[in-house]
Amino acid sequence: MELQSDFLHTAVIYLGVAVIAVPLFKRLGLGAVLGYMVAGIIIGPQGFDIVHEVDPTLNFSELGVVLLMFLIGLELNPAKLWQLRKPIFGLGTAQVALSIAVLMAAGMMMGHGFAVACAAAVALALSSTSTAMQALEERGLSNTTVSQSSFSVLLFQDLAVIPILAFVPLLGMGASAEPTSYEDVLKTFGVFVGFIIGGRYLLRPVFRLIAETKIRELFTAFSLLLVIGSGLLMEAVDISMALGTFLAGVLLAESEYRHELELNIEPFKGLLLGLFFMAVGMSVDLSILFDRPLVILAIVAGFMLLKGIVIYHLGTMAGLTRSDRVLFALLLAQGGEFAFVVVALIQSLGIVDVTFASELVLIASLSMFITPFLLLLNEKIIMPRFNISTVQESDIERNEGHVIIAGYGRFGQIAGRVMLSRKIPVTVIDHDPNHIEFLRKYDFKVFYGDATRIDLLESAGADKAKLLILAMDDQTAVQETAAMVKRYFPELPILARARNRMDLNRLKMAGVKASRRETFSSALEIAELALVELGYGAREAHQTVLRFRHYDEKNIAGAAEFMEDEKSMINYAKRTRAQLEEVMSSDQEELSNSDKAW
Amino acid sequence: MTKKIALIYAHPAPNKSKVNKYLLQAVQYAEHVVVRDLYELYPNMFINVDAEQQLLVESDVIIFQFPIYWFSSPAILKEWMDRVLSGGFAYGATNQLAGKELMLCVTTGGTEDSYQEGGRHGAPLDVYLQPFKQTGLFCKMKLLPDFIVQGVGDMSAGEVAIAGQQYQKIIHELGKGRGQS
């Protein structure tokens, strides 16, 4: 029991300090990563020493990095990779290789040995994805050339982490690496093949089975099982867990369950990474900074300057303008979260000693800490000199405005097929696994999930979409989603499916641009056919129905004020019915007058 | 060889028609006539262009039959012209209407007297029919004499019947390829 309360006690401390520090840092524009780290410093041995044992936390939270790799894999469907192949492999390789070379040279000039300088350079060459992407997003620069270039470099770094984690140990081992036997190679190969075949043919039916149970946590459980399981499987054949889960992610990148997987893993990744950053914060040795503040700060400045210069010049290669190059350099000059992973690794391998490892961690942390300030400085002082505002339209192609259709049953499908007939890109969200299976056979892009979840809509690109069509069968869900979307994406126009006359007004109040009753139009068409059958001319029947639609919609709008009062509602309905009859027959009269004669 | 006739009929209220309805009845059962009742076929004004063009290709004579509404045809005939008489079909290098014959069958409520310079309707009816005739000429079609019935409001049943017989005769002659030029 003691152990349990101890565990809960620690959990409360971690969670509590995170909940306080992270929002505060986000508010200040410094980003969540710094928030976690500072929270870690506060509770760690350096701060109030509330948590003494750092290593177990660090080990456990490295799972967050593994989950991050999985999510990176999920993002990387082959098409996207292909589109960005040049900047990723051109810019990315150049950045990583040149940064390592320059930093290593600097390290060796400072008197470090080859292996140490190399390991340190590798650790610091990688930038902070979270810091850079967050900064871009916050400034509304997500679709600019700088953003594309930065993303490409970061993506390459993410990829580079895999071989780095695999090869860094060689620095320490020297020639002591065991010769690999045929058996091992065969085993590895077998695991890979099994993985690919399983991913292609086994995962989908399993996901479908699980989705059909409609028990959400089962889906979450399976997602985690999949990620951690594939990591362990890879580890069993001497491949790093990170690489294993990354591959699992790539395998599932094309799957229609991708969004849902992402959503399920995301919070775990977020929390565990947060824990990871906290653990890093706890292990930051502030005493080093206090002992030799000038030296450390000089190293940080020198490191960021060197890396920044490399990146600035790569910006020329990417065809960036001068002001963009400055931004590009500032965005990526810092050390990143992977520095902590690499440092932890090289320390555990004995390549560097504890003191130097702490120095590296401190340098990386400080550089991340400084980045938001540098960006602020850039905006306020450097940018104005270029006479350019930071928020500018870029020439590169924007993400194409697509239409999101939530609910792809018999209603949504019709709207969707019209869109597709005009080659309008459509993203579909539906929560019926049978539906998805069926539509997939016809090559539709359909994603499994619950459209009432704002995070799912977000990952379906609600911020970049041109239009949202709420076509779900469940009217309550339609109305709730409409209100929620209006709150989070006020710019996104919504069209909605309604069930009855009352819904039309409710949806209007929720901010829906226009809505239609699901059976209204087809019922009117039947009425038109009926009139023709009864001997009315086709035109007269058509006009009658059009007039009816006009007056009916007008009446509904008029009923909005009576929505809450049933009695006056009924009165209003009776009154308008009488009015409608009158109006329709007087219209008839008018029509016959004008049609008189020849 | 019998000439084939496409009769493009545009009347927004056929049930209330005083003359057009009878004119149509007088000719619609002739074997060489295909009637397109536009308002009946396309109440929402969405015209099946392919079907209409196909019919024109198969026909030798095209008749526009309509009552004058506001010094022109009812709206749907204009829509029909706009959509069906497209470039590459009705004019241009691949004109498929060249050499076919066009005839207007038009009724007016006002009398012939009122369709005069200074009269209630301002100008002779032929002035108002010019856009239709020019359309035919532009498409390299030959114009046949118009069939006009005016002053419909005052016509007796007998007069209507006579008009119907005249129309029937013209259509019959046209079919033989001996139009009353």
What's residue A286's pLDDT? 79
How far is Cα A158 from Cα A99, in angstroms, rounded to an integer?
A: 15
Instruction: Outline which parts of chain A fall under CATH 1.20.1530.20.
Output: 60-385
Q: What is the DSSP string of A373-441?
A: HHHHHIIIIIHHHHT--SS---SSPPPPP-EEEE--SHHHHHHHHHHHHTT--EEEEE--HHHHHHHHH
Q: What is the pLDDT of chain B when averaged over all its residues? A: 92
List, as ranges, residues 519-538 from A with C-beta within 8 Å of B: 528, 537-538
Residue indicated by tokens 């890396």: A307
pLDDT digits (tens, 9 = 90+) for A501-525: 889 999 999 999 999 999 999 999 9
Beta bridge partners of residue A427, listed in sequence order: A404
Looking at residue B36, its pLDDT comes to 96
Return d(Cα A486, Cα A509) in angstroms, integer: 11
* CA–CA separation, A261 and A258 (whole Å): 5
Helix (H, G, I), strand (E, B) or coil at B10: coil
**Which residues does residue B36 pair with via DSSP β-bridges, in sequence order?**
B8
| Domain A403-517, CATH among 3.30.450.20, 3.40.50.720, 3.30.230.10, 3.30.2350.10 | 3.40.50.720
Q: Strand A403-406 relative to strand A467-470: parallel, antiparallel, unpaired?
A: parallel
3-state secondary structure (DSSP) of residue B72: strand
Q: Which of A157-166, A401-410, A588-597, B116-125 has the highest mean pLDDT?
A: B116-125
Supply B59's token pair.
């026909």
Contact (Cβ atoms closer than 8 angstroms) between residue B19 and residue B163: yes
* B18 touching A (Cβ < 8 Å): yes
Q: Using one digit for the tens of pLDDT, what is the confidence trace for B12-22?
A: 887 778 889 89
Cβ(A61)–Cβ(A272) under 8 Å? yes
pLDDT digits (tens, 9 = 90+) for A323-335: 888 889 988 998 8
pLDDT at A250 over 90: no
Give the pLDDT score at A1: 45
Is A537 close to B18, i.e. CB distance below 8 A?
no
- pLDDT reading at B178 higher than 90: no
**CB distance from A539 to chain B under 8 Å?**
yes
Count other Cβ atoms within 10 Å, centred on residue A414.
10
Calculate Rg over the CA atoms of chain B.
16
The SS3 call for residue A49 is coil
By Cβ distance, the residue of B17, B44, B68 closest to A542 is B44
Lowest model confidence (mean pLDDT) among A169-178, A405-414, A470-479, B90-99: A169-178
Closest approach of B80 to chain A, Cα-based (Å): 15
Residue B60 near residue B3, CB atoms below 8 Å: yes
Q: How confident is the model over A381-409, as pLDDT tens digits?
A: 777 666 543 333 322 223 357 899 999 88
Q: Average pLDDT of B23-30?
A: 90
Q: Chain A residues with CB inside 8 Å of B17's CB? A: 597-598
A2: phi then psi, degrees, rounded to nearest 5: -65, -45
B41 neighbourhood in chain A, CB within 8 Å: 538
Name which of B37, B44, B149 to mutate to probe chain A: the one with the most chain A Cβ atoms within 10 A of its Cβ: B44
Report pLDDT for A386: 63
Nearest beta carbon to residue B109 from set A538, A591, A598: A598
Residue range(s) in chain A whose domain bears CATH number 3.40.50.720: 403-517
Element (H, E) at A343: helix A337-348
Report the pLDDT averaged over residues B145-165: 91
Residues in A touching B68 (Cβ below 8 Å):
598
Residues B178 and B12 sit within 8 Å (Cβ to Cβ): no
* Number of Cβ atoms within 10 Å of the Cβ of A191: 17
Q: Quote the CA–CA distance of A346 and A187 in Å, as a whole number.
A: 28
Cα–Cα distance measured from residue B151 to residue B155, given in angstroms and rounded to the nearest whole number: 7
pLDDT of residue A397: 29
Q: Which of chain B's residues have a Cβ under 8 Å away from the Cβ of A543? A: 43
What pLDDT is recorded for position A590? 53
DSSP line for A161-226: HHHHHHHHHHHHHTT-PPPPPHHHHHHHHHHHHHHHHIIIIIHHHHHHHHHHHT-HHHHHHHHHHH
Helices (H) and strands (E) counted in chain A, each on its own, are: 28, 6
The phi, psi pair for A251, rounded to 5°, reads -60, -30
Over range A520-537, report the average pLDDT. 92
Which of A528, A538, A597 lies at the smallest CB-CB distance from B18? Answer: A597
Residues A138-184: tens digit of each pLDDT: 666 766 678 778 878 887 887 787 677 767 777 765 434 444 567 77
| Range in A106-120, A363-377, B29-43 with the lowest mean pLDDT | A363-377
- Contact residues, chain B, for A592 at CB < 8 Å: 13, 16
Both tokens of residue A466?
A: 């041109």
Distance from CA of B109 to the nearest CA of A (A): 6
**A540 chain-B contacts, CB cut-off 8 A:** 13, 15
pLDDT confidence tier of residue B180, bands split at 50, 70 and 90: very low
Closest CA to A32 of A48, A13, A18: A18
What's at A528, amino acid-wise? E
Give CA–CA dist A420/A408, Å, rounded: 13
Instruction: Name A130's Cβ contacts closer than 8 Å, sequence gap at least 6.
Output: A31, A32, A33, A336, A337
Q: Which residues lie below 8 Å from residue A82, measured CB to CB, with a gap of 6+?
A: none
Chain A residue numbers with beta carbons less than 8 Å from the beta carbon of B149 are 598
Query: Do A269 and A69 form a contact (C-beta atoms < 8 A)?
Result: no
Nearest chain B residue to A529 by CA distance is B43
Q: What is the pTM of this model?
A: 0.53
The alpha-carbon gap from A594 to the nearest alpha carbon of chain B, in Å, equals 9
In this predicted model, what pLDDT tens digit does every residue of A331-347 receive, in sequence order? 899 888 778 778 888 88
Count Cβ atoms below 10 Å from residue A396 Cβ, excluding itself: 12
Nearest chain A Cα distance for residue B106, angstroms: 10
Q: pLDDT tens-digit profile of A547-565?
A: 899 888 888 888 877 777 7
pLDDT of residue A504: 92
For chain B, what percent of residues have pLDDT higher than 90? 78
Q: Phi and psi (nearest 5°) for A337? A: -60, -25
The answer to whether the CB atoms of B20 and A598 lie below 8 A apart is: yes
Cβ count within 10 A of residue A319: 10
**Of B1 and A156, more confident:** A156
Q: List the single residue in B14, B20, B107 with the smallest CB-CB distance to A537.
A: B14
- Give CA torsion, residues A255, A256, A257, A262, to 10 deg: 80
**Separation in Å, CA of B67 to nearest CA in chain A:** 6
Residue of B nearest to A595 (CA): B13
**Least confident span in A97-101, A286-290, A544-548, B33-37:** A286-290
Residue A406: its pLDDT value, please?
Answer: 92
Residue B85 has pLDDT above 70, yes or no: yes
- Where helices occur in B47-156 by DSSP H, the ranges are 49-58, 75-84, 125-138
Whole-angstrom CA distances from A209 to A23, A194, A327, A586 are 39, 21, 48, 60
Closest CA to B55 of B73, B78, B32, B75: B32
Which pLDDT tens digit goes with each residue over A4-49?
667 788 888 888 888 888 888 877 766 677 788 888 888 888 778 7
Q: What is the residue-averaged pLDDT of chain A?
A: 80
Taking CB atoms and an 8 Å cut-off, how many pairs form between chains A and B? 48
Cα–chain center distance at A251? 18
Mutating which of B15, B70, B115, B154 best tests the A interface, going by the most A Cβ atoms within 10 A?
B15
Report pLDDT for B122.
92
Q: What residue of B is the nearest CA neighbor of A532? A: B40
- CATH assignment of A60-385? 1.20.1530.20
Catalytically active residues of B are: 109, 115, 121
* Choice between A179 and A235, residue whose per-residue pLDDT is larger: A235
CA A80 to chain centre: 15
Chain B residues with CB under 8 Å of A591 CB are 13
Q: Given pLDDT bands bounded at 50, 70 and 90, which one contains residue A472? A: very high
Q: Tokens 């006579």 — which residue?
A: B162
**Any chain B CB within 8 A of the CB of A598?**
yes
- The reply to whether A540 touches chain B by the CB within 8 Å rule is yes
Own/partner contacts of B38-42, CB < 8 Å, gap of 24 or more, are B38/B8, B38/B9, B38/B10, B38/B76, B38/B77, B38/B80, B39/A537, B39/A538, B39/A539, B39/B10, B39/B11, B39/B12, B39/B14, B39/B74, B39/B76, B40/A537, B40/A538, B40/A539, B40/B14, B41/A538, B42/B76
Spatial neighbors of A159 by CB under 8 A, at least 6 apart, are A88, A92
**B152–A contact, CB cutoff 8 A:** yes
Distance CA A469, CA A489 (A): 14
B32 pLDDT higher than 90: yes
Instruction: List the single range of A28-37, B62-71, B131-140 with lowest mean pLDDT.
Output: A28-37
At A440, is the pLDDT very low, low, confident or very high (cuts 50, 70, 90)?
low
Of residues B41, B43, B108, nearest to A598 (C-beta): B108
